[in-house]
Amino acid sequence: MHFGVREMDLVNHLNDRLLFAVPKSEFQDFHRFYSVQKGRLYQQCLELLKGADIQFNRSNRLDIALCTNLPIALVFLPAADIPRFVGEGRVSLGITGQDQVAESNIDVREIIDLGFGSCKLQVEVPENGAFSDPRQLVGKSIVTSFTSLTEQYFRKLEAEAANAEPAVNGNEKKPLKTVIKYVGGSVEAACALGIADAVVDLVESGETMRAAGLKAIETVFETSAVLIGSQHPTHPDLLDIIVSRIKGVIAAGKYVLCNYNCPRDKLNVVITITPGHRAPTVSPLEEEGWVAVSSMVEKKRIAEVMDRLQAAGAEDILVFNISNSRV
């Protein structure tokens, strides 16, 4: 956890608070989360907490912050460590990547896909090299920060190559022919420096890999940020409230509120265009034969929905952002 004396002393007196792990902002701690996005994910986490009305003040030199309006303590950790602290410690909730959960092999609950931080864990090889298929890498040297996921992937390839499952002696797996080497940072440099034939690393846009002269030949794992929970959380009632609030914030980010007027005889048509989350709200207007309709619409579809509404006879179409929700 790399806590100082003050943090350790504070943790020992937090039995009355739910512990919630949040990724640290420092670049070195984000590398195994999504280094390509640097501090942007940290900011997105803070915005999510703000939207859920989890208020806190954090000292620059402390990795624990006490919430001022709820009995919660935020614990700022490297994203790669969060699954272990949630799964094995007193930390009840955490935000990390699906890749980190899968890599850790720790038993935690994946509660909500938070909808940001999407990346791919990919096999990358030199652009002008001899490899174009991951099967060609069986028996070669691979560098990665994700040794567990990479080993699982190459075990499958080796089994396919042998046309059989890996041999097992008792509970011991057959040794890999492929050499998997761990590097904690600058994975993309491994091929150029001559220590690997290929790398397995997280890729968002691919710019860093292309700059290093690499190309992707396979996706091992697709990932995004998730809210995870302990199988045995403290303060379960408070945990349920936090989860409900975060779900509301996530839903609010996906939808807008679309209001419009239309002739009553067109109502059956327009509500098929905007069916709403459950059903649209329909109210009569003072003008005879007209109604007002209000409905939640997916933000990514709103332009197309407005076009269809207008074509169907709707007028006065207005769109409003939703700052929070409970759906």
Q: Is residue 139 part of a domain?
A: yes
Element (H, E) at 98: helix 98-104
pLDDT in tens, 270-324: 999 999 988 999 999 999 999 999 999 999 999 999 999 999 999 999 999 998 8
Which phi and psi (to 5°) does residue 273 adopt?
-80, -35
Q: Which residue has better confidence, 162 or 210?
A: 210
Q: Is residue 192 part of a domain?
A: yes
Q: Is residue 250 part of a domain?
A: no
Chosen domain end from 234, 263, 290: 234
Which of 71, 82, 143, 74 is closest to 110 using CA atoms?
82
Q: Is residue 34 part of a domain?
A: yes
Check whether residue 230 and residue 83 sit in a common domain.
yes
Check whether residue 20 and residue 168 sit in a common domain.
no
Which phi and psi (to 5°) does residue 94 adopt?
-160, 155
pLDDT in tens, 69-103: 999 999 999 999 999 999 998 899 999 999 999 99
- Say if residue 206's pLDDT is above 90: no
What tokens does 228 get? 């995870």
Q: pTM for the complete prediction?
A: 0.82
Domain count, the chain: 3
Domain with residue 260: its CATH number is 3.30.70.120
Check whether residue 95 and residue 139 sit in a common domain.
no
Check whether residue 267 and residue 317 sit in a common domain.
yes
Q: Domain span at residue 308? A: 255-321
